[in-house]
Amino acid sequence: MSKTNPGNFFEDFYVGQILSHATPRTLTEGDVSLYTALYPMRFAVQSADSFAMDIGFEAAPIDDLLVFHMVFGKTVPDISLNAVANLGYADCKFVRPVYPGDTVSTKSKVIGIKENSNGKTGVVYVRSTGRNQTGEIVLDYVRWVMVRKKDSSSPAPEADVPELPNRVDPCHLAGTIPIIEPEAYSNDLAGSPYRWDDYEVGEKIDHVDGMTVEEAEHQMATRLYQNTAKVHFNKHTEQEGRFGKRLMYGGHVISMARALSFNGLANGFHIAAINGGRHVSPCFAGDTIYAWSEILEKADIGERTDVGALRVKTIAVKNQSCADFPGKTEDGYHESVMLDLDYWLVMPR
């Protein structure tokens, strides 16, 4: 009897299934340093204890997306070890800050399944919840992933696709960060004079900068998150796969786009929620990533007067400048588009 884990195939999932994922992860300042080395993150709240503490945090919180990747990575051996691709996200809420020394662990519930028409793969929908060492929820999100079938002739289960909200209600964002002191928030140290009031719905921002991703970087990042998906690491098997080479973890593109968005959204110091996201096309080593954003909506956060929320759509493209804002048209996405991410960004007022 084999003692190794081959991962779950599409036939192994069923609606209502609970998956308790192995290996809790204590996040350290070392993780933060490596994450900063991999992505050009410059947001002041996550960069300096002094800045964060001046406005009301306990210390510099760990970057929201580093928390996301760590929680996500726990789920891979049970959900997406045999994945063809991670497809999208919805209803993602960053519930409370995580600080160095906190430990995160993850459980998931299967909330939907649907076999694809080719009979060789299916889509699995899961809700994953990350908790800290005291059991408090730090992150809760839905994702859907295309998973290989072990036997293409096996009968297909009845399709059960969950209904998901098209956005997180901003009234749920109030508790995701402490009350901050806007007067103590230094625009100069943060790197931009533009706060929540300075942005307009419909405004588009070209983040200008581009960054080429190397093979070692995206594999190092994925190992940092303990993400074991075969498509990211195994050149031997993936040269026989759909693309003929290793596929970059989609979260790497998300973090790179977020880092690039500093140029234009420097005071957007906290991602409070991801309303939806889609990995439109793959990214490979050697591709250069650019990003642009559009302000979709502005909202109050409950009764809070210290911060407001911007609903932002960020598009990441490869090997294409964003001067013309390539994105989705009536005929589909521009060929350069890799990521379409819709999220709530918190800014001081």
CB 71 within 8 A of CB 139: yes
Q: Can you tell me the distance from the alpha carbon of 90 to that of 162, in angstroms, rounded to the nearest whole number?
A: 11
Q: What is the pTM of this model?
A: 0.95
CB 162 within 8 A of CB 113: no
The pLDDT value recorded for residue 168 is 96
CB 251 within 8 A of CB 68: yes
Q: What are phi and psi of 179, to 5 degrees?
A: -60, 130
Q: Which DSSP state fits 246? A: P
pLDDT band at 306 (very low <50, low <70, confident <90, very high): very high
pLDDT digit string (tens) for 136-151? 999 999 999 999 999 8
CB 314 within 8 A of CB 226: no
Distances (CA, A) of 194 to 6, 155, 190, 263: 50, 56, 10, 11
pLDDT digit string (tens) for 2-54? 789 888 999 999 999 999 999 999 999 999 999 999 999 999 999 999 999 99
- 232 alpha-carbon distance from chain centroid: 17
In 3D space, the residue among 333, 332, 291 whose CA is nearest the CA of residue 312 turns out to be 291
In 3D space, the residue among 71, 172, 173 whose CA is nearest the CA of residue 126 turns out to be 71
Mean pLDDT of the chain: 94
The pLDDT value recorded for residue 243 is 85
DSSP H/E element including 333: strand 332-333
349: which 2 tokens? 């007022």
pLDDT digit string (tens) for 268-298? 999 999 999 999 999 999 999 999 999 999 9
pLDDT band at 94 (very low <50, low <70, confident <90, very high): very high
pLDDT band at 106 (very low <50, low <70, confident <90, very high): very high
The pLDDT value recorded for residue 19 is 97
- 331 alpha-carbon distance from chain centroid: 26
pLDDT band at 338 (very low <50, low <70, confident <90, very high): very high
The pLDDT value recorded for residue 257 is 98
Strands annotated E in 118-230 = 121-131, 137-148, 204-206, 211-212
137 three-class SS:
strand
pLDDT digit string (tens) for 45-78? 999 999 999 999 999 999 999 999 999 999 999 9
Residues 322-334, mean pLDDT to the nearest whole number? 92
Task: Indicate if the pLDDT at residue 1 is higher than 80.
Answer: no
Residue type, position 286, single letter: G
Determine the topology of domain 10-150+166-348 in CATH: Thiol Ester Dehydrase; Chain A (3.10.129)
The pLDDT value recorded for residue 122 is 95
Residue type, position 149, single letter: K
The pLDDT value recorded for residue 228 is 87
In 3D space, the residue among 77, 321, 346 whose CA is nearest the CA of residue 209 turns out to be 321
Q: Can you tell me the distance from the alpha carbon of 305 to that of 316, in angstroms, rounded to the nearest whole number?
A: 32
Residues 250-264, mean pLDDT to the nearest whole number? 97
The pLDDT value recorded for residue 24 is 96
